[in-house]
Structure 1
Amino acid sequence: MKKYLLFLFFIFCVHCLLAQMPSISEVTKDFKKYEGFFSFYFDEKTGAVYLEIDKFDTEFLYVNSLTAGLGSNDIGLDRNQLGDERIVYFNRVASKVLLFQPNQKYRAITSDKAEQRAVRESFAQSVLYGFDVEAVENNKVLVDMTEFLLRDAHGIADRIKNMRQGAYHLDISRSAIYLPRTKNFPQNTEFEATLTFTGAEAGNYLRSVVPSEEAFSLRLHHSFIQLPDNEYVPREYDPRSGFINISYYDYSTPVSEPLEKKFAIRHRLKKKNPSAKVSEAVKPIVYYLDNGTPEPIRTALLEGASWWNQAFEAAGYKDAFQVKLLPEDADPMDIRYNVINWVHRSTRGWSYGSSVTDPRTGEIIKGHVTLGSLRVRQDYLIATGLLAPFENGEKLDEKNDPMLKMALHRLKQLSAHEVGHTIGLVHNYAASMNNRASVMDYPHPTVSLDKNGNIDLSNAYTSEIGEWDKVSITWGYQDFPKGTDEKKALNEVLDKAIAKGLLFISDVDARATGGAHPKAHLWDNGDNAVKEFSNVLKVRQKALDNFSVKNIRNGVPYAVLEEVLVPIYNYHRYQLEAVAKLIGGMNYSYAIRGDKQVVTEIVPKEVQQQALDAMLQAISPEILTLPENIIKLIPPRPQGYSPHRELFSKRTGLTFDPMSAAEAAASFPMSFLFHHERAARLVEFKARNNSLGLEEVINTIIEKTWKSPRLSGLQRSVQMQTEQIMLTHLLALSINENASMLVKSIANQAVKNLKTWIEAKKAESKETDYLAHLDYALDRMKTPERAKVESEKPLPPGAPIGMCSLEE
């Protein structure tokens, strides 16, 4: 009885407290009102924002984003970068309002309220913020939003700390609401704030982009978005489709069925006439290009993004995908606009294709592309290195500039690629093996030698959507007539693609270091990795043969030739990765029971041997050693031209270092050949079907390095350096904690055998430098734990050549 009386007393006190509160109209009489999805007010005297809440326990979408960024690709806080998206709702408790984020990962898709409650109460929810009620009027309350908006919701300080760029914290005294981008619309309410971070010990990445190390200011955006209606029909995910998926656990699922549910993410798209073979859409998908994009880049991006209409036409739509320039009065953060942003950074870096997605269903609400502006310059640089075009040292006009033509073709593909992510697609890294079947691959320029032996860029990049892309869009967006067995029809779409030989392999399977798939690679070309590697080496050699002062314009310091040389000397690096994956490789697919795809198939021994031979060609002194005429062209950098990471690492101080360039180029393929996962597969596959074994691989490498005939001059120095690099990787593998026992035993035996050979060689050798080389190797074998692969010089940055990574 006492508890009941106390409860009544509490209710009475709350009622009295609320009764004493002023009305919303009283508090806001001098404020500027912004009507919309959630009406809000701005107090010009204090700079405070007050939110009028009239929707309680009603879910909506909350998204934070970074409108004005830092400008550093390495730190990653870019202009118009999307942050987290969450379904939230306001819940009122007396004089307090809580912003709840329900747990979408665990659900009960049932009409049984008790069953829904049981799941809801079994897993934690999150309260993102608590607000004090400032005023009341009818069924509405007023809360002060200022502190909520002036908080580090994007994790900026943590990002700076995690990147070791200093200790910075949010300084509220230097932060304020940014009114020009604080707006209201019928379906979304937008807030923006200028946040200033102060601190010390700024790292190099941060120091290079901020005007003052004492403080830097960014702008953070907050969006409250009305969730879509329930007319959208989710499409059950198929791992063969090429789509991104959402997933959750449905605890109302019968025991005989999978608990985890997966659905493809897609825009809402319906035909006006689903029965027609070709029909207009009820509402087309429209993307808008950042109006701050300059020409001729603007035209290239518009054209590339528009390629997707080809895929939608293949799916039976007419003009269902459109690309326009963003109107001057439009806000790119407005949820109504799918946008392609043109973003500037201090260094080249990745581009991104993101989206705002309804976590309940997978419906894409807003496509959001971020394209880095410096990457087109890297493509121009590669073309310059290949062509040595400045015969007279003069700048070429745009109409007759083959480097610009190639770079713009690349931008078209990049635009299509990133938009592809925002319409639901993942990467397809097997497309380059399939005659460029998808723009969702990472394309290296396809370059060849013409009949006169000159470098030909005419086929560098594709100019249209791929066949696989049409399949994916048809699977994801086809609107079937009533009565169609949709699951069967969708399966037929993929079965037909498989019958045509179209391949789909995505991200994790394409990575090279320990990767096994022989057909899915980043930045490769051709349907035969080894054959294309041979072509790439010929192109590389031709470019090096032609390398001269013609690779720079008049008035440019000779030292800048090193920047042009880097991507040419390392031109073969990506095709080399594709070759590496054949060794210890296994072909497989995302097969499901009933389709006719390869499940697993070890790469034939002869193919692996061809790949090994190609890899060893890449570490030959002939390939690694730069010619004297190029070395003599590159002096130390002059005043005003500081060294940077796009150059070769050096061990010679200021002077150009061809030995370190060769060191990095030799260590790179060794990292694949001696990777512990590849080594384990070599041991396993040898035991299973007498495939190429680890012992054979190591012995072959030793034969082609340590036991090869001695050379002279700079090639001799490179040869001995490469042998020491090989020993580093072998010693590291012999004690690698992640390697299997059998791998370590084989590597350890190889070290002992090599030691015996070196000791015998030492007894018969007379050359002082060679004896020193042999002695040093023997000393290193005594302490294998000191063999640090990471101490070797790395290659200069390569990727992105002009492509993206889905965050991924």
Structure 2
Amino acid sequence: MKYRLLLFCLLFFIRLVPAQTPGGAVPTITSFTSGMEKQPGFMTFYWDAKKGKIWLEIDKFDTELLYYPSLASGVGSNDIGLDRGRLGQEHVVKFQRIGPKVLLVEPNFRYRAISSDPLERRAVEESFAQSVHWGFEIVAEEGNRVLVDLTPFLMLDAVGAIPDISQTRQGNFKLDPSRCAIYLPHSKAFPKNTEFEVTITLTGDNPGPYLRSVVPTPTAVTMRQHHSFIQLPEPGYKAREFDPRIGYGGIEYFDYSTPVSQPIMKRYISRHRLEKKDPKAAFSEAVKPIVYYLDPGTPEPIRSALMEGATWWNQAFEAAGYRNAFQVKLLPADADPMDIRYNLVQWVHRSTRGWSYGASIIDPRTGEIIKGKVTLGSLRVRQDYLIAQGLVGTFDTDTSHVAEMMQMSLDRLRQLSAHEIGHTLGLPHNYIASTQNRASVMDYPTMVAKIKGASIDLSDAYTKSIGDYDKWSIIWGYQDFPAGTNEKQELNKIVQQMHARGLTFLTDQDARPEGSAHPATHLWDNGSNAVDELKRTTEVRRIALDNFSEKKIPAGTPMATLEEVFVPMYLFHRYQTEAAAKVLGGQTYTNALRGDGQPVLSTVPVDEQRRALDALLSTLNPVFLSVPPYLLKSIPPRPFRYNANPREVFKRRTGMTFDPLGPPEAAVSMTLRMLLNPERCARLAYQKMFYPNQLGLEEVLDQLIKTVYKRPVDKTYIGTINQMTGLKVAEQLIALAQNKDADATTRDLAHRSLLRIKTMVEPALANQLSNYGLITHLIRQYEQNPTQVPQPAVLVPPDGAPIDTGQEWLESLLGEPACEWKQ
């Protein structure tokens, strides 16, 4: 019995040791892979059908290549962000052999020494960490080739799905190896790239509402993950230095071989490799054109609109002197969309509307774009159609105005296609372009709704070609100069010519923060002057609301759904209000370089700031804020199985019924949030110190208080809206006075304004003419113990930007209590 047990243990140990030839050597690759399916290519691999494994043949050691993961099939929730086609981070890696092991090593290209001295380069390499992504045991060998098991590496959560699910509070998940497998149809080897695809499954308990809304069994989330190994581009790409005056993304790194007198940080743009066949010619064909492929799963007429918008970029490349250098084709039926060889425009479905985006795979060493990848959310067009429905729709019949509404929606898709492809060409947003005659598709446009008598005209809602700035940006980024040209001087001339035409560049950092300062840089705005456009936009809003009726929805549609069409009409002024608020304390500036002749910085003139203040205060007028009486009688509670998405309708305090004060409170809160932004208030306080005649924060607060608290007091609908506005002003001022991050002058002026409000409302309260008692109570609480003043609940506006569904709505569908959700 003892000998049998010893024999069993010996046989078990032999099973764990890799098969070896006599003499202790590992077997040959030929013998080890006998009977397996061989896929020769850039990185040859073998498919072991019996074990479900991928065996990778490595014959290139210490040779850099590009690796990146992506998602071939996603989850379908915009909030989580795990979309079909999502690109992971690219990595320059190399295989290093150390005895019986192979390491997959990523050098650190963030820190370099661009020097011919190997010791100087070595000093930098050894000063900063590298990354080893995996270690492989060699199982077979033949000549200078080795064989390793790639399967465990492929089964990793390479795209970061687990942390994404966790960060969005959708549960704690882990990879379940028993439910993961190679997806062979999309695992292929090509001459310059090798592609692998795997089915991965994440399992967990207590999945959140986003997952429950899109996964059939939400405790098991299955998707397909793709891995790409790519030959790095051939030498010959010429990196172009970044210029902050014209927008391009790109790479940055420290070059420690730089002389002390020069900047150590190097910045280069990202762009596709594009060369003229004849660089001396003013107009030439490209050596290799840039070709983008459209997802054939896109339906008509959307497909044609996206194709047309994509082709606009050829206008820009023609301006740069190229003939037919930018092309758009339909992706071949047998092509793998994850293949590095295809720049792709992909049509992606989610459970509700969400963002579209453009991303690129670049060579981290040089900035060269290797693959452009556009993701277009399929439900965004339906929101555009809904807005057109509110502006011009009148369903006298089921087909009334449908062609007009669809045309505006398709025009928006053309612009969207061009916008996202622009990102994959290297271009960031340019948010000042909308004030320069719609000079760039890289701005976020809202539709230009023109007033035509008592109706609205959408025929020019969106541009129908590339913008002037777009052409100059492509000329600057892609111009191929003849040999011997002083490239830096020529590029500078291009920027100067662009400036001479009144075109400039400002991007997200200048536009997105609510407290940002530039009066012409904002998202979803229009017009050369923010104040004038706000006045025009409020007139469009008035006409839209005057024309609003039950005919905004087709016959046979539940009347409760009229609210979804009403929301964007009531808040039609929302983005232009935010744009006009930036005029207050505003500063006009450029990304000027010393000596380039551009204006550097100036404060917005006082008269323009006062015009902006008047326009903003007009959005607090209770008549402007009131909901038309017809609508108050036309929106009943939701019918069975028509649960409302809270991001698409107004929040309410009246339960199932429509809240007549919900829309006014949302609009008031929006204006006050922008008007009393702490950073804006600080600028208003400071500009008064330097320019005594300028608008100051004290004047702004004085005008706000007079506007709200000196109106006649009554208990009608209009009077109640004004009293609600007064309460919101007091609450916002209390928050501002208590804000420890606000500057001292701002907090002091907010404090004094509160005391003034108390003295103004007390007489009306004594005469029992108003419900200002709560305001008085809150201010007294603030005086006695500021930290104990309760934070008020605010009915925020429904979301306007194209984002996904909120938790409360999903949980109402699932019949479970809502979790806390904050916008």
TM bucket by the smaller chain? Answer: over 0.9
Q: CA deviation at 1:460?
A: 0.2
Quote the residue 2:499 is aligned against.
Answer: 498
Over the aligned positions, Cα root-mean-square deviation in angstroms equals 1.7
Give the direction of change, closer, same or farther, for the CA distance of 1:707–1:20 in structure 2 (3 Å limit).
same
Look up the match of 2:517: 516
Q: How far did 1:346 drift?
A: 0.6
Per-residue CA distance 1:635-690 (angstroms, 9 max, x = gap): 00101101212111111111111212211111111111111111111111111112
SS of residue in 2 equivalent to 1:709: coil
Distance 1:109 1:19 in 2: 45
Q: Distance in 2 between matches of 1:556 and 1:55?
A: 64
The answer for the alignment partner of 1:613 in structure 2 is 614
- Residue 766 of structure 1, CA deviation: 2.8
| Deviations, residues 150-204 of structure 1 (Å, cap 9, x unaligned) | 1111111111111001121111111111111111111111011111111111111
Letter in 2 for 1:706: Y
Instruction: Report the counterpart of residue 726 of structure 2 in structure 1.
Output: 723
Kindly indicate whether residue 167 of structure 2 is the aligned counterpart of residue 155 of structure 1. no
| Cα shift at 1:800 | 2.8
Segment drifting more, 152-161 vs 777-786: 777-786
Alignment partner for residue 63 of structure 2, among 55, 58, 65? 58
User: Matches of 1:492 and 1:790 in 2, distance apart?
Assistant: 55
Cα pair distance change 1:787/1:219, threshold 3 Å? farther
Structure 2 residue 18 is matched with structure 1 residue 39:
no
Q: Which of 762, 765, 772 is the aligned partner of 1:762?
A: 765
SS in 2 for 1:417: helix
Amino acid paired to 1:119? V
Secondary structure at the residue paired with 1:208? helix
Distance 1:153 1:788, change over 3 A: farther
**How much does 1:785 deviate?**
3.5
Contact kept, 8 Å, 2:284 with 2:323, in 1: the verdict is yes
Match in the other structure for 1:680: 682
CA contact (8 A) 1:196 1:218 kept: yes
Is the partner of 1:445 in helix, strand or coil? Answer: coil
Query: 2:681 is aligned with what amino acid?
Result: A
1:646-657 alignment, distance < 5 Å: 646-657=648-659
Counterpart of 1:170 in structure 2 is 175
- Structure 1 residues 549 and 688, CA, compared in 2 at 3 Å: closer, same or farther? same
Q: CA deviation at 1:778?
A: 4.4
Q: Is this contact kept in 2: 1:512–1:577, CA < 8 A? A: no
Q: Is the 8 A contact 1:287 1:323 kept in 2?
A: yes
Cα distance between partner residues in 1 of 2:118 and 2:21: 34
- Aligned residue among 423, 447, 452 for 1:421: 423
Letter of the structure 2 residue corresponding to residue 795 of structure 1? P
What corresponds to 2:585 in structure 1? 584
> Do the aligned partners of residues 395 and 17 (structure 1) sit closer, same or farther apart at CA in structure 2, a change above 3 Å counting?
farther
2:121 match: secondary structure: helix
The residue matched to 1:235 in structure 2 has which SS?
coil
User: Residues of 2 paired with 1:608 and 1:45: CA distance?
Assistant: 75
CA 1:769/1:532 → structure 2, altered by over 3 Å: closer, same or farther? same
Q: Secondary structure at the match of 1:82?
A: coil
How far apart are residue 31 of structure 1 and its match?
Answer: 1.0
Amino acid at match of 1:631: L
Q: How does 1:493-572 map to 2 (within 5 A)?
A: 493-572=494-573
Match of 1:11 in 2: none
**Contact 1:269-1:283 within 8 A present in 2 as well:** yes
Residue in structure 1 matched with residue 308 of structure 2 by the alignment: 303
Could you tell me how far apart the structure 2 residues matched to 1:744 and 1:773 are? 19
How many angstroms does 1:722 deviate by? Answer: 1.1
Asked whether the equivalents of residues 385 and 408 of structure 2 are also in contact (C-alpha less than 8 Å), the reply is: yes
Tell me the SS of whatever aligns to 1:298. Answer: helix
Instruction: Spell out the pairing of 1:768-783 with structure 2 (5 A cutoff).
Output: 769-771=771-773, 774-775=776-777, 778-779=780-781, 782-783=784-785
Residue 395 of structure 1 pairs with residue 399 of structure 2: yes
Work out whether residues 385 and 405 of structure 2, in 8 Å CA contact, stay in contact via their aligned partners in 1.
yes
Please tell me whether residue 276 in structure 1 is matched to residue 248 in structure 2.
no
1:234 aligns with 2:239: yes
With over 3 angstroms needed to count, the CA separation of the structure-2 counterparts of 1:775 and 1:736, relative to structure 1, is closer
Q: Give, in whole Å, the separation in 1 of the partners of 2:702 and 2:785.
A: 21
Question: One-letter code of the match for 1:243?
Answer: Y
Query: SS of 2:214's equivalent?
Result: coil
**Corresponding residue for residue 710 of structure 1:** 713
Aligned residues: 783
- For residues 372 and 785 of structure 1, the distance between their equivalents in structure 2, rounded to whole angstroms, comes to 45
- Per the normalisation by structure 2, the TM-score is 0.93
Q: Please report the TM-score for the alignment, with normalisation by the length of structure 1.
A: 0.95
Match of residue 476 from structure 2: 475
**TM-fit CA distance, 1:596:** 1.9
Question: Does the 8 Å CA contact 1:341/1:369 hold for their aligned counterparts?
Answer: yes
**2:632 and 2:660 in contact (8 A); partners too:** yes
| Alpha-carbon spacing, 1:773–1:735, altered in 2? closer, same or farther (3 Å) | closer
The residue that corresponds to 1:638 in the other structure is: 639
CA contact (8 A) 1:18 1:136 kept: no
1:379–1:801 contact (8 Å) kept in structure 2: no
Query: Is 2:74–2:223's contact at 8 Å kept on the other side of the alignment?
Result: yes
Q: Does residue 107 of structure 2 align to residue 110 of structure 1? A: no
The residue that corresponds to 1:360 in the other structure is: 365
Any stretches of 5+ residues in structure 2 without a counterpart? Answer: 1-19, 805-823
1:246 to 251, 262, 273: 251
In structure 2, what is the Cα distance between the partners aligned to 1:176 and 1:330? 22
One-letter amino acid of the counterpart of residue 426, structure 1: P
Work out the CA distance in 2 between the residues paired with 1:469 and 1:371.
Answer: 21
SS of 1:460's partner is coil
Preserved contact between residue 245 and residue 362 of structure 1 (Cα < 8 Å): yes
Question: d(CA) in 2 for partners of 1:529 and 1:789?
Answer: 32
The separation in 1 between residues aligned to 2:763 and 2:649, in whole angstroms, is: 41
Q: Work out the CA distance in 1 between the residues paired with 2:234 and 2:57.
A: 23
Q: Corresponding residue for 2:808? A: none
Secondary structure of the residue aligned to 1:49 is strand
Quote how far apart the aligned CAs of 1:783 are: 4.7
Query: What is residue 75 of structure 2 aligned with on the other side?
Result: 70
Supply the distance in 1 between the matched residues of 2:416 and 2:770 (Cα, whole angstroms): 54
Do the aligned partners of residues 535 and 512 (structure 1) sit closer, same or farther apart at CA in structure 2, a change above 3 Å counting?
A: farther
Question: What does 1:255-294 correspond to in 2, within 5 Å?
Answer: 255-294=260-299
Counterparts of 1:592 and 1:256 in 2: how far apart (Å)? 18
Equivalent position to 1:734, from 734, 737, 748 = 737
Per-residue CA deviations over 1:300-357 (Å, capped at 9, x if unaligned) read: 0000010000000001111000111111111111111100000000111111110000
**Equivalent residue number for residue 598 of structure 1:** 599
SS state at 1:619 partner: coil
The structural deviation recorded for 1:511 is 1.8
Q: Once the 2 structures are TM-superposed, how far is the Cα of residue 534 of structure 1 from its aligned partner?
A: 1.0
Structure 1: runs of 5+ lacking an equivalent: 1-14, 803-808
Q: Is the 8 A contact 1:724 1:777 kept in 2?
A: no
Cα distance in structure 2, aligned partners of 1:88 and 1:482: 33
Opposite residue 421 of structure 1, the aligned amino acid is H
1:482 Cα offset (Å): 1.6
User: Does 2:355 match 1:350?
Assistant: yes
SS at match of 1:288: strand
Query: What letter matches 1:395 in structure 2?
Result: T
Query: 1:448 is aligned with what amino acid?
Result: K
In percent, how many aligned pairs have the same letter?
Answer: 54
User: Who is 2:328 aligned against?
Assistant: 323
Quick one: distance in 2 between partners of 1:768 and 1:456?
Answer: 43
Pairwise CA distance, 1:777: 5.3
Deviations 1:110-130 (A, max 9, x none): 111000000000000011111
Offset, 1:255: 0.5
2:814 corresponds to: none
1:758, distance to aligned residue in structure 2 (A): 2.8
Which residue number in structure 1 is paired with residue 796 of structure 2? Answer: 794
